[in-house]
Structure 1
């Protein structure tokens, strides 16, 4: 089978789906790998490295897709600016696309794929099970995003992170509040602690308290009788009453913070508002908010996607694609996730699209001209 790796065309995307090290591993498994010219350049992987690993470099994306069986991408398909056609049209009928797809946010793209006969496995739909852990691209990229969120916020803060005892006096450590203790939040916590900050973490799931404390964070606990996570381990949508209680409790913590990092996402839903305009008004002048959920509506009422804005003397960072700011390692980790997925479901250079398999079936959005992902299908029927 032929695997095609195109250059990412979404604005601000610097990652590449496959890195040279993974190319050689795929070839050993019996696949042929073709890479679009300069596909890995922004991530730090020039064409020469792909050639040395055994890939073929293809100049034109339409030629790249022509004989491909599997297309590996990072971002969901969009209209190709140079070709004037949707990437799904360029890929063509009978091919398998594996990428982040976010069909619960973009169900119409799933319908388009079905109409065009393009099969889709979505990396954001990989089940959160022990067996699927090596393929969990959401977690690998969230890890990178959590790290980068702290570095970026620190760059805008007018203070240093660690406590310093100097001849001129003692400098107090920065205070960081993190909203959400998922993979991104815990990565941010670890990074902020390594830089010397005092870190507080809020999460709707009481069961993450021990993880937060084990990394040196203080847990902001909201008393509740509700179950706050779904069967897959993701945070679920909370009641209005719970959100009201949460906002009251964290108001004091947020308004005393130097940096607030928000990470709360609910699959298929608009991100919940955790930081209100009133909270921002009461924050210290010069403090920083970084909204990691800005791509899906944002956790801060005042954040703007793709912009750094200043409101009430508070800097609010709305960077929608933090992993893309660390493209070398983000690409490496994503490529390994893809390799593990392909390795799991292939034999002698052939990918076996087994819909009865828990991982492959669970992550498949479109198969044989039909939207088969139940939640996506339900959105399209409503």
Structure 2
């Protein structure tokens, strides 16, 4: 069983799908590991460290030759996979809804594509969940990015020259990224509030020392989605939330938005009028900008100033913490495959619950029900 670790080809991608730590663990299971030269360079993983862990380091062609499993952070170009074994598994974050043509190409090439972001959110799969591990880092980094753009300090400071008020931070969307953003902003001394369409998050917000901002007693709320994600909001809820948020957001120094709905464009949470209501010098960080954005006026890959407010739209926020993001991502992959490793067969054997959830292609066809619906 040969596992190939490829150097990422996507622009701006600094992460790597396996570190020397996980390479060593896979070898201990009985796998043969091959790493493309330079694959971990931008994530502080040197070729020499991979070699010391027992991997063969070589060219892309050498790495792929006879590979039974191909690792990537983002899905590799199907045309670049020549030399991999027939039916090889492609294990990566594959963006199935946004890159459907690539999924079809994996099927046409006879590959078995496994989308790690489709990992079911069940107890036994928590250690395999790349969305949680990467979102956790994104929430942390979002606060640091906001602090870097904000022209003032976060904590209240009492000095001989007078008192500096604490920054007011508002987090919209309290999933993994939002919770980490709340915790990080609190650690920096900010006055933090947060909102979400899921009522169950209120206690989580309070447990982190932040103030929950919630719409109450509105009929038709559909915020509780499946798999731990938020669902669609009803028109009644959207109207009530817009009224509540408009009054609150005008008083904030920093807003961080994190709301995503799988397979659909990110919900619009902040309008241009709401941006204009904020004080000049305020900062908004839109973590959903690559999926269409939560903020009107946000631009993917750019920091723009609208009505005196900076709107931060960095792409691939976890990749801005490449070393830690790679370490967590690679452990997710190891936890996944090692849980199904059959020692007698010398390879992983997936069960139906997880295998059917993440398998996109098999036997030359697209087989995932989420893509066939």
TM-score, normalising length from structure 1?
A: 0.94
> Please, which of 143, 166, 176 is the counterpart of residue 169 of structure 2?
176
**Distance in 2 of aligned mates of 1:221 and 1:88:** 49
Q: Per the alignment, in what secondary structure is the counterpart of residue 73 of structure 2? A: coil
**Aligned residue number for residue 6 of structure 1:** 6
**Aligned residue number for residue 327 of structure 2:** 332
**Aligned residue number for residue 152 of structure 2:** 159
TM-aligned CA distance change 1:88 to 1:107, over 3 Å: farther
TM-score, normalising length from structure 2?
A: 0.96
Of stretches 18-27 and 345-354 in structure 1, the one that deviates more from structure 2 is 345-354
Q: Does the CA contact (< 8 Å) of 1:91 and 1:118 recur in 2?
A: no
Q: Does 2:370 match 1:375?
A: yes
Q: Per the alignment, in what secondary structure is the counterpart of residue 189 of structure 1? A: helix
**Aligned residue number for residue 200 of structure 1:** 193
Q: Does 2:318 match 1:316?
A: no
Q: Does 2:38 match 1:42?
A: no
> Please, which of 274, 287, 290 is the counterpart of residue 282 of structure 2?
287
List per-residue Cα deviations over 1:153-179 (Å, max 9, x = no partner). Answer: 100001100000000011100000111
What are the residue-to-residue correspondences of 1:1-382 with 2, within 5 Å?
1-59=1-59, 61-78=60-77, 86-87=79-80, 93-223=86-216, 224-225=218-219, 226-348=221-343, 350-354=346-350, 356-378=351-373
Q: Does the CA contact (< 8 Å) of 2:64 and 2:81 recur in 1?
A: no
Q: Per the alignment, in what secondary structure is the counterpart of residue 155 of structure 2? A: coil
Q: Per the alignment, in what secondary structure is the counterpart of residue 186 of structure 1? A: helix
Q: Does the CA contact (< 8 Å) of 2:267 and 2:294 recur in 1?
A: yes
Of stretches 242-251 and 335-344 in structure 1, the one that deviates more from structure 2 is 242-251
**Distance in 2 of aligned mates of 1:375 and 1:49:** 39
Q: Does the CA contact (< 8 Å) of 1:92 and 1:116 recur in 2?
A: no
**Distance in 2 of aligned mates of 1:72 and 1:109:** 16
Q: Does the CA contact (< 8 Å) of 1:105 and 1:269 recur in 2?
A: no
Q: Per the alignment, in what secondary structure is the counterpart of residue 145 of structure 1? A: helix
**Distance in 1 of aligned mates of 2:118 and 2:330:** 16
Aligned length: 370
Q: Does the CA contact (< 8 Å) of 2:174 and 2:196 recur in 1?
A: yes
Q: Does the CA contact (< 8 Å) of 2:66 and 2:84 recur in 1?
A: no
**Distance in 2 of aligned mates of 1:5 and 1:236:** 35
Deviation at 1:92, TM superposition (A): 6.9
Q: Per the alignment, in what secondary structure is the counterpart of residue 152 of structure 1? A: helix
List per-residue Cα deviations over 1:60-80 (Å, max 9, x = no partner). Answer: x133212100001101234xx
**Distance in 2 of aligned mates of 1:32 and 1:92:** 14
**Distance in 2 of aligned mates of 1:31 and 1:277:** 53
Root-mean-square deviation over aligned CA pairs = 1.4
Deviation at 1:194, TM superposition (A): 0.1
**Distance in 2 of aligned mates of 1:92 and 1:244:** 54
Deviation at 1:231, TM superposition (A): 3.0
Q: Per the alignment, in what secondary structure is the counterpart of residue 97 of structure 1? A: strand
Unaligned runs of 5+ residues in structure 2 are: none
Deviation at 1:240, TM superposition (A): 2.7
